[in-house]
């Protein structure tokens, strides 16, 4: 009696079926780009649509055949993992209209645990559970016949040859792909996150090179005995200027600072739409020429080398490599606090914890303190302020912000601005009460935020197409009476009619300390800025 042969799926069939299934399930984002950019009824439109499907199919076949040469089990492992990660990526792309370019990959990899947890929603399970079940079935319950190595190599060669043949036979489409390559490449699953993760890793390797030190500088004067020069830089997160009452917004999002002597400068324009590059721009001398992979030392490191006491308090992420006297996260700032008045470490009030005590107890006569806020980081806007600041109702109380009404979403976001306005008012009040100090405070956003305009949410859009909601940011300066007197300044003297570029920050901090060196640009110094400066 003949033994029955157990059923196995042929390798070529398995690869072809999987490539088709992957394309059918996960091509929605890239398909949306194509259908909005072509005229489907024309020959060229049909060719582009067909060509995109064929290219996706063949690229996946090539990768799977290549993996199978080493191990069919390795190939199946990739298939399974790809299903799960694609499902998660598709959920977030559909929910927040994001694209998985190198910038967004950097944002994802630099998101801390607290921010990542706010992106969790049960709706993700609707994508993940079917993908996980399919992955388990594929990996453990669907056997695949393993042909010889030569056959697998031939499958790889044939797929590659077909790809090249098709690409050259449709060479008329190349120009279209060149024009739309960036928008499509950030939406093709899984290659959007695979390729851009590799690009980001390369970028980080460049960033981790030894920093280039700036020329040594000199202070223009000695701090008077018994006095301290203090500069505070407050970096706001996802604060869009057009939702600030100071800039004409219809709702009173600035009820606390309107009664202070804070100088509300013309709104700023961010260098980038994501934190890493924006901070590189504002904290290094390169300004707009800086990128996330800049190798020049930032202002914190430079001041530390020149004897300024530096502290970096962070409730966020994405800072460039810095050398400071004390780098501390918000949670650690209040870790030893046990009283009833202890601030919530998840909120930005924790960054102000015992700040006057720090300034008064530090022996150095020059202090530079950076407060990096969580600010208005989305999508969990409702979690960025304490209940008493929820002045605008009703609010969007879910991370699935696309499902909220415009009113609910805007109210939740605007409440974060009210809360931040309170913190800034409290900060300048505390600073003004510290005796024997000459203090300047600069508040500037890192980038703006989209709240559903044109179907966009959050931030991180490519700078070439980024909407003004993601670029225009608030820009404040506060100067103590001692600082004004020492510099011969008042609020009117630092005002101008033009939008303030992001890269004023570096030079203005140097100017506030009276520290000059070869890379210092006085025309970029707010405290030395003619009104007609560009």
299-344 confidence digits (pLDDT tens): 999 999 999 999 999 998 888 888 999 999 998 899 888 888 899 9
Indicate the range of 284-298, 375-389, 415-429, 445-459 predicted with least confidence.
284-298
- C-alpha distances out from residue 46 to 42, 50, 205, 323, Å: 6, 6, 42, 56
Q: How confident is the model at residue 101 (pLDDT cuts 50, 70, 90)?
A: confident
- pLDDT bracket for residue 2 (50, 70, 90): very low
Contact (Cβ atoms closer than 8 angstroms) between residue 238 and residue 449: yes
Q: Among 93, 89, 100, 74, which residue's Cα sits nearest to residue 128?
A: 89
What pLDDT does residue 175 have? 63
Are 477 and 494 in contact by the 8 Å Cβ rule? The answer is: yes
pLDDT of 215 higher than 90: yes
> Which of 39-43, 263-267, 477-481 is the least confident region?
39-43
Percent of the chain with pLDDT over 70: 92
CA angle 442, 491, 376 (to 5 degrees): 35
Domains of the chain, each with CATH number or no CATH? 11-207 (no CATH), 229-528 (3.40.720.10)
Strand bridging mode 218-219 / 515-516: antiparallel
Handedness of CA 201, 202, 204, 210 (dihedral sign): positive
- Tokens (6 digits) for 159: 């797929």
81-104 burial, b for 16+ CB within 10 Å, e for fewer? ebbbbbbebbbbbebbbbbbbbbb
User: Which tens digits make up the pLDDT trace of 260-309?
Assistant: 999 999 999 999 998 988 998 999 998 776 665 667 899 999 999 999 99
- The C-alpha atoms of residue 378 and residue 452 are separated, in whole angstroms, by 12
- DSSP string over 472-499: EE-EEEEE-HHHHHHHT--GGGG--SSP
pLDDT digits (tens, 9 = 90+) for 391-441: 999 999 987 788 899 999 999 999 999 999 999 999 999 999 999 999 999
Res 522 pLDDT > 90: yes
Can you tell me the distance from the alpha carbon of 467 to that of 450, in angstroms, rounded to the nearest whole number?
8
Q: Is residue 134 scored above 90 in pLDDT?
A: no
| 2 Cβ contact list (under 8 Å, min separation 6) | none
Distance CA 324, CA 344 (A): 25
pLDDT attached to residue 141: 80
Q: What pLDDT shows up at residue 178?
A: 66
Does pLDDT of 14 surpass 70? yes
Q: Is the pLDDT of residue 203 over 70?
A: no
Most confident of 90-99, 208-217, 445-454: 445-454
């Amino acid at each position: 009696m003949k033994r029955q042969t157990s059923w196995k799926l042929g390798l070529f069939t398995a690869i072809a079926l999987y490539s088709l299934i992957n394309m059918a399930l996960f091509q929605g984002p890239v398909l949306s780009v194509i259908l909005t950019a072509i005229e489907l009824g024309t020959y060229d439109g049909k060719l582009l649509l067909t060509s995109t499907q064929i290219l996706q199919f063949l690229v996946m076949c090539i990768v799977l055949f290549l993996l199978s040469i080493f191990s069919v089990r390795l190939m199946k492992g990739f298939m399974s993992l790809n299903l799960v990660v694609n499902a998660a990526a598709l959920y977030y792309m559909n929910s927040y209209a994001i694209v998985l370019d190198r910038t967004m990959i950097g944002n994802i990899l630099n998101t801390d645990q607290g921010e990542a947890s706010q992106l969790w929603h049960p709706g993700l399970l609707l994508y993940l559970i079917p993908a996980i079940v399919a992955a388990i079935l594929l990996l453990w319950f669907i056997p695949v016949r393993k042909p010889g190595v030569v056959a697998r190599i031939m499958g790889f060669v044939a797929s590659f040859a077909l790809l090249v043949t098709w690409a050259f036979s449709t060479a008329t489409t190349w120009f279209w792909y060149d024009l739309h390559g960036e928008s499509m490449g950030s939406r093709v699953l899984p290659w959007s996150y695979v390729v851009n993760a590799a690009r980001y890793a390369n970028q980080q390797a460049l960033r981790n090179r030894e920093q280039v030190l700036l020329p040594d500088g000199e202070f223009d004067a000695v701090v008077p005995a018994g006095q301290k020069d203090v500069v505070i830089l407050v970096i706001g997160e996802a604060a869009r200027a057009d939702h600030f009452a100071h800039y004409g917004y219809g709702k009173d999002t600035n009820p606390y600072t309107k009664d202070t002597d804070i100088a509300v400068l013309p709104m700023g324009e961010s260098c980038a739409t994501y934190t890493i590059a924006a901070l590189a721009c504002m904290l290094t001398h390169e300004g707009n020429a800086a990128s996330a992979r800049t190798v020049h030392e930032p202002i914190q490191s430079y001041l530390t080398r020149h004897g300024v006491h530096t502290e970096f308090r962070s409730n966020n992420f994405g800072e460039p490599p810095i050398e400071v006297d004390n780098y501390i996260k918000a949670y650690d700032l209040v870790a030893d606090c046990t009283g009833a008045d202890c601030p919530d470490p998840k909120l930005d009030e924790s960054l102000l914890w015992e700040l006057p005590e720090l300034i008064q107890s530090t022996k150095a006569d020059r202090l530079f303190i950076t407060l990096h806020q969580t600010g208005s980081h989305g999508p969990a806007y409702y979690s960025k302020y304490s209940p008493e600041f929820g002045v605008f109702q009703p609010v969007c109380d879910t991370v699935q912000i696309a499902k909220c009404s415009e009113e609910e979403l805007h109210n939740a976001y605007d409440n974060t601005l009210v809360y931040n306005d309170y913190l800034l008012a409290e900060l300048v009040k505390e600073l003004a009460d510290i005796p024997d100090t000459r203090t300047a405070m600069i508040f500037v956003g890192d980038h703006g935020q989209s709240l559903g305009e044109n179907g966009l949410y959050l931030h991180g859009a490519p700078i070439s197409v980024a909407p003004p909601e993601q670029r225009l940011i608030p820009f404040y300066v506060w100067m103590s009476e001692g600082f004004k007197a020492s510099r011969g300044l008042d609020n009117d003297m630092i005002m101008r009619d033009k939008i303030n570029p992001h890269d004023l920050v570096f030079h203005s901090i140097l100017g506030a300390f009276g520290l000059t060196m070869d890379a210092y640009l006085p025309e970029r110094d707010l405290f030395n800025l003619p009104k007609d400066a560009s």
